[in-house]
Structure 1
Amino acid sequence: MLDRKVAVVTGASSGLGRAIALRFAAEGAAVVIADTRETPIEGGDTTLSLIRDGGGRAFFAQTDISSWEAVDMLVGETVEHFGRLDVMVNNAAIYTSTNLLETTPQQWQQVMGVNVTGYFYCCKRAVQQFLTQEPVSDARGRIINISSQHGMIACPGDFPYGVGKGAIVQMTRQIAVDHADDLVVCNAIAPGKIITGKPGVANDPDALDYSRSRTPWPRLGVPRDVAGAALFLASDMASYITGVNLMVDGGWMAG
C-alpha cells in the first residue's frame, strides 16, 4: 500500500511509533525512525534492525523535535537519503502526570515544547518540503498527528498533556484547511487506552481498570490498532479525508 513512499515517524523507537514504523515498512515504505533514543523502552531489537532484517529501507535519526534545527536536519536528511518526503507522522510526546497546581513552569514548558511546539516544527518543515514536490495520487504529502481521546475530554491528573493534545486536534484542522489548495492532507489519530511498554502511571492497575470500565470493546487497544489506522491515512485510500481526528478507542468516546 505504501510502495515507493517515504515516511518519517517521530518517537518510533518504542510504543505506537515503533508499531507504525514497522507497519509502514512492511507495506513498502522507506522509513526514517526519529527519536531521542534508539533503544526501545520495551526492550529487544531496535526498530531499525527489525525493518532491515525484514528487507526494508530505513535509517535512524536522533532527533529532539522541540528544536527547529533538529527538525530541519531531520527532513533534510530524509530527502538526501530517499529523494522526497511523502508522510510525516508526529507521534513523539512526553507527560508529567501533574494537575494544574502541581505543574511547575518548567514542566509546562517541557511538555508544550515537545507535544505542541515540536508538532508545529514537524508540520511546518514537512509542508515546506511538500510544496517543492509534484503531487502523487492527488497529494503532495500527508501529515498524521497522533492526538488522543484527551484532546476532546479532560485528561484526569495531567493538565499539560491534556491541553497539549487539545492543541494538536486544532492544529490538524487548521493545517488541513489552510493547505488544502496545496494538496497537503492532514489528519490526526486519537488513540484510546493502548497497552504499551510506557513506564509509570500508564500501566498502573487502577488506571487500567478505569480504562476497561470506560471502553465498550471487550479488550483494550494494542499498538497495531493505531498502526492500522495510520496505514489507512497514509495510503491513497484516504485521498478525500482531511482535517479528521480519527478515534481508535474501542468506542470510549461513543459511550
Structure 2
Amino acid sequence: MALLAKKIAIVTGASSGIGRAIALKFAAEGACVVIADTVELPIEGGQSTAALIESSGGTALHIATDISDWNAVDALVTATVTRFGRLDVMVNNAAIYTSTNLIETSPEQWSRVIGVNLTGFFHCCKRAVMQMLAQEPVNDLRGRIINISSQHGMVACPGDFPYSVSKGGIVQMTRQIAVDHADDLIVCNAIAPGKIITGKPGVANDPDALDYSRQRTPWPRLGSPNDVAGAALFLASDMASYVTGINLMVDGGWMAG
C-alpha cells in the first residue's frame, strides 16, 4: 500500500526545486497534494507541478499563495479542506534570500526575508494546527507539520544574515510546536538540507560556492531535491510514528565534519 494513501498534503513553494520534488514524491505515494506558490511554472522549465502530478494519474491543485500574508494562508487551508475534507500534512518549504551580510542588509530586505521565511512559517504552522485541532485523529494522529530549515539554522551562512537568522528561528519554532502540541496529537519536525543543487538563480549556483560545498561535504556528491523529498516522505508517513521535534540533517555529512 502507498505510504501516503488517502492523505491530504499542502506543500508551499512547490512549483520548483525541493518543494516540487516533495510534492511529486508525496503524490507518487498516494497523497492528494496542494501546491501553494506565488507562481505556477517551475524555474527549471517544463510542466507545472500540478500538471505533472495529474498527468501521472495523481490528484493535485495549485493555489497561488504568498505565505507572508495571513489572509492568503487562511484561504489556502480553507480551500484545501473544502476540496478534500481535512489536512494531514503541512510542508513549509517556501523561502527567499538576499545574499547580504548585516551591514549590507537593508531594513526592507530584512523585513521581506523574515516576512516569508519566519512569519510565513508561523502563519502556515498556526493555520495548520487550527485545522488539525478541529479534525478527528487518524491512527492516533491529528496531523503532521514538516518545516524545511537548513544547515544554516545551526551554523552561519557566510554573507547571508537574514536567511541564516530566519532558518535558526524555524528550528526553534519546530521544537516549540512539537512540545506544545504533542498532547493534541500533532507532530512537528524539520528537515535541514545541506547543499542541494536546484535551478534557483544567482549565488546558489556560483562555481566557487559549489566548489566550496563539494570540499565541505564528506559524501562524494552534492544533494538533489529528491534526497530531501525522501526524508520528507519518511516524516510524513506512519513510519515516523514516534518522531517529533527533530531537525533531520540531509546534508551528506556536512554538519558531522
Q: TM-score, normalised by structure 1?
A: 1.00
Q: CA deviation at 1:175?
A: 0.2
In structure 1, what is the Cα distance between the partners aligned to 2:25 and 2:213?
A: 26
- 1:100 paired with 2:102, answer yes
Paired with 1:139 and 1:156, the residues of 2 have a C-alpha distance of 39
Q: Where does residue 234 of structure 1 map in the other structure?
A: 236
> Who is 1:169 aligned against?
171
Q: Distance in 1 between matches of 2:234 and 2:118?
A: 24
Q: May I ask how many residue pairs the two structures share in their alignment?
A: 255
In 1, the alpha carbon distance for the partners of 2:21 and 2:139 equals: 25
d(CA) in 2 for partners of 1:139 and 1:153?
Answer: 33
**CA–CA separation in structure 2 for the residues paired with 1:125 and 1:239:** 23
CA distance in 2, matches of 1:196, 1:224: 10
Residues 1:111 and 2:113 are matched in the alignment: yes
Identity %: 79
Shift of 1:75: 0.1
Q: Which residues in structure 2 correspond to 1:171-210 (within 5 Å)?
A: 171-210=173-212
1:224 alignment partner AA: N
Residue aligned with 2:230, SS: helix
Q: What residue in structure 2 maps to residue 131 of structure 1? A: 133
2:36 corresponds to: 34
Which of residues 54, 66, 69 is equivalent to 1:52?
A: 54
Q: Spell out the pairing of 1:83-94 with structure 2 (5 A cutoff).
A: 83-94=85-96
Q: Cα RMSD over matched residues?
A: 0.4
Give the match's secondary structure for 2:244: coil
Instruction: Give the counterpart letter for 2:144 in structure 1.
Output: R
Q: CA–CA distance in 2 between the matches of 1:119 and 1:90?
A: 6
Which of 239, 245, 248 does residue 246 from structure 1 map onto?
248
Contact 1:147 1:165 in 2 (8 A): yes
Say which SS state the counterpart of residue 124 (structure 2) adopts. helix
Give 3-state SS (helix, strand or coil) of 1:238's partner: coil
Moved over 6 A (4+): none
Counterpart of 2:143 (choices 112, 116, 141) is 141
In the TM superposition, residue 73 of structure 1 has moved relative to its aligned partner by 0.1
Q: Does 1:68 align with 2:70?
A: yes
Task: Give the counterpart letter for 1:212 in structure 2.
Answer: R
| 2:15 equivalent among 13, 22, 26 | 13
Structure 1 runs not aligned, ≥5 long:
none
Superposition TM-score, scaled by structure 2 size: 0.99
Runs of 5+ in structure 2 lacking a partner?
none
Amino acid at match of 1:190: A
Shift of 1:14: 0.2
Q: Tell me the CA shift for residue 138 of structure 1.
A: 1.7
- Letter of the 1:71 partner, please give it: V
- How far did residue 139 of structure 1 move? 1.0
